[in-house]
Amino acid sequence: MHSQRCYTLSASCPDRVGIVARVASFIAEHQGWILETSHHADSEAGRYFMRIEIKADSLPFHLAEFRQRFQPIADEFHMDWRITDSAVKKRLVILVSKQEHCLYDLLARWQSRELDVEIPCVISNHDTFRGFVEWHGIPFHHVPVTPENKRAAFAEIRRLFEEVKGDAMVLARYMQILPSDLCQAYPGRIINIHHSFLPSFVGARPYHQAYQRGVKLIGATCHYVTAELDAGPIIEQDTVRIDHGDSVEDLVRYGKDIEKTVLARGVRYHVEDRVLLNGNRTVVFR
């Protein structure tokens, strides 16, 4: 992300001749200064993807007028598109359970402004991290989840998310399965870190599954949440090599380091509008 204020145009559409020329001409006609551009054609799906950063003060109008003027082009090419302003920070609501490493890492990056977002609140099904979160000046909400109150608990999480006008939920080792209606309400807006190299070892205790299987690599996966468990579009992954001398406890310890970095990268790609959905896959313009 450039330090100067920019507008980021992200779009996908059926692939055809003339897309780039039409969009670039529109920007040039209005004296727009392109800072960065990325493109990808998926020949199998027949779709085209683009991401363009435009110097904000090079245009003679603001976003509302940009949207109005650009809409005929979007209609012509049947685009799914959005444009965002780097001056408007994304609002991330973090959900966490009883493991601290991803929460600690995200808050450290937020405090140092490496992760340039707003965190309007943290929600947890345990009260463990209240003091730590509130020390950062962030509201903390304890929403217990039991077999008896799940519907009400997730309704409260949804209410809180809407109340603070959240842009995305980040599940920082939140160890509850979200109901399908919540997943469907926010497609491409709920980000999870799963402690395995998906699609291997879905569900609970993946490091134990990996140990029993005798794998030589373990990993972590940042992905969007869908109604199907651990099967949403993948944003980022990484691995570390292990060997026969490593215990389950070693795998867990190694894995925590990967989880933190993979989640941080995935969140950053999301907030910088670098991720475009392509069915159950993603296009990530790094």
The catalytically annotated residue of 230, 243, 246, 273 is 230
> What is the C-alpha to C-alpha distance for residues 73 and 262, in angstroms, rounded to an integer?
36
Strand partners, 8: 53, 84
Any idea what DSSP says for residue 177? P
CB 82 within 8 A of CB 10: yes
**How far is residue 232's CA from residue 269's CA, in Å, rounded to a whole number?**
16
CA-closest candidate to residue 265, choices 109, 120, 112: 109
Is 230 one of the catalytic residues?
yes
| Residue type (1 letter), 269 | Y
Identify which of 100, 93, 69, 85 has the alpha carbon closest to the alpha carbon of residue 189.
93
Task: State how far the Cα of 228 lies from the Cα of 226, in Å rounded to an integer.
Answer: 5
The single-letter DSSP state of residue 246 is -
- Tell me how far CA of residue 213 lies from CA of 150, 184, 205, 210, 248, in angstroms: 33, 34, 13, 5, 11
Provide the residue type at 260 as one letter.
K
8 A C-beta contact, residue 19 and residue 79: no
Residues noted as catalytic: 230
